[in-house]
């Protein structure tokens, strides 16, 4: 009899416990929606007078420049994680560059867009050489076979057309954002949803403290990538292009068309598609700019402005890895 009574009591406690818990959660959700409670709960006090100093955190056209201490990861995740977004991430690894894939992918699995749906698209001429890397939950990888070229310049600039077609044929209705990243690179620190924006560019680590007229823009008026002296904003790296699929499509399609015109006129811009991208961003301003934390070089020592290195080009022997000088 006593056993029966105890079981009955335990059952009642369980039922009431569940009802109470359900009610409390529902209230939290209701309160969250009504008053931004969750945001207030999650975020610490932000000031409007004190912020990151010593670096430019907003462009003259009012796009944020993303540096450490300009964003709160918990708050950013509270915004983006409810949106169930997918981020396509494209990487080209042709010829000897397949050797960079392992470190790239393994480090991305530690630091890149953790907690988000990520779909890697690996363009390569050697699908069998794509390493087996254990991917986290909601992360997948597709290998796409494409022919290589005997000129590294053609491989690099050819990425624009391949991205244009990938977006048109597969991604337009499947994913929300896309990042195209150089494979000869590694992640060393957090790279998350703070990098998402309509159209995102990265400041080239080699020129972030250089005067505009010393940027290696294409200076010959015969090229479609031409930027005259006296003009220009920043020097952006070709290693990172990102944003909404629709916006990235517009950027890569425009660059591809300009590259075609240059080719027909037998001219190749100083830094191939990077030059065309710089021209594109001069007239179509990026809505978010990533600081050199998001594109550093292992060969460069860390400076005081760079509080954290998140993504960095590894040291490579160009003569040995490239198909031509
Ligand atoms: C710069 C840019 C790069 C591109 C290039 C254009 C940075 C840090 N890098 O780097 O993005 O704009 O200039 O000249 O902004 N690739 C292969 N196999 C090859 C050669 C290249 O797969 O044999 C791919 C690979 O994904 C590589 C990318 O093309 O990451 C760019 O080539 P790179 O890294 O050799 O170009 P680099 O270092 O001059």
pLDDT per residue over 77-108, tens digit each? 999 999 999 999 999 999 999 999 999 999 99
* Token pair for 237: 């790296």
Mutate to test the pocket of ligand 1, among 239, 296, 300 (most ligand atoms within 8 A of CB): 239
Cβ atoms of 200 and 243 within 8 Å: the answer is yes
**Which residue is catalytic, options 274, 293, 319, 320?**
274
- pTM across the whole model: 0.89
pLDDT of amino acid 303: 96
Q: Outline where DSSP puts E strands in the chain.
A: 65-66, 86-93, 117-124, 139-145, 177-181, 185-187, 199-203, 236-244, 288-290, 296-297, 311-313
* Token pair for 305: 């402005």
pLDDT(36) > 70 = no
Q: Is 274 in the active site?
A: yes
In this structure, what are the phi and psi dihedrals at residue 128, rounded to the nearest 5 degrees? -70, -20
Cβ of residue 156 lying under 6 Å from some atom of ligand 1 = yes
How much is the CA Rg of the chain, to the nearest whole Å? 24
Q: Which atom of ligand 1 is nearest to the CA of 277?
A: 12
Name the closest-CA residue to atom 33, ligand 1: 156
Question: What is the share, in percent, of the chain residues with pLDDT greater than 70?
Answer: 86
pLDDT per residue over 275-306, tens digit each? 999 999 999 999 999 999 999 999 999 999 99
């Amino acid at each position: 009899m006593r056993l029966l009574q105890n079981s009955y009591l335990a059952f009642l406690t369980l039922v009431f416990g569940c009802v109470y818990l359900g009610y409390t959660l529902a209230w939290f959700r209701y309160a969250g929606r009504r008053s931004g409670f969750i945001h207030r709960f999650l975020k610490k006090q932000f000031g409007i007078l004190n912020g990151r100093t010593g670096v430019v955190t907003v462009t003259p056209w009012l796009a944020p420049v993303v540096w450490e201490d300009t964003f709160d990861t918990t708050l950013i995740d509270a915004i983006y994680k409810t949106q169930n977004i997918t981020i396509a991430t494209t990487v080209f690894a042709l010829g000897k560059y397949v050797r960079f894939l392992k470190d790239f992918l393994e480090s991305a699995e530690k630091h890149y867009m953790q907690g988000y749906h990520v779909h890697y698209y690996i363009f390569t001429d050697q699908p069998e050489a794509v390493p087996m890397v254990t991917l986290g939950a909601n992360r997948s990888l597709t290998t796409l076979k494409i022919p290589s070229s005997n000129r590294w310049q053609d491989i690099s600039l050819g990425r624009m057309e391949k991205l244009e077609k990938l977006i048109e044929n597969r991604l337009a209705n499947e994913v929300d954002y896309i990042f195209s990243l150089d494979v000869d690179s590694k992640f060393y620190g957090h790279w998350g949803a703070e990098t998402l924006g309509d159209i995102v560019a990265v400041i080239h680590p080699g020129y972030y403290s250089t005067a505009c007229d010393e940027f290696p823009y294409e200076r010959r008026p015969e090229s479609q990538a031409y930027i005259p002296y006296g003009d220009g904003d920043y020097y952006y790296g070709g290693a990172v292009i990102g944003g909404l699929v629709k916006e990235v499509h517009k950027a890569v399609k425009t660059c591809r068309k300009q590259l075609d015109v240059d080719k027909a006129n037998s001219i190749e811009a100083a830094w191939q598609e990077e030059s065309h991208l710089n021209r594109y961003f001069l007239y179509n301003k990026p809505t978010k700019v990533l600081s050199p934390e998001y594109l550093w070089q292992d060969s460069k020592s860390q400076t005081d402005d760079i509080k954290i290195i998140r993504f960095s080009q590894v040291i490579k022997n160009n003569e040995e890895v490239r198909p031509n000088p």
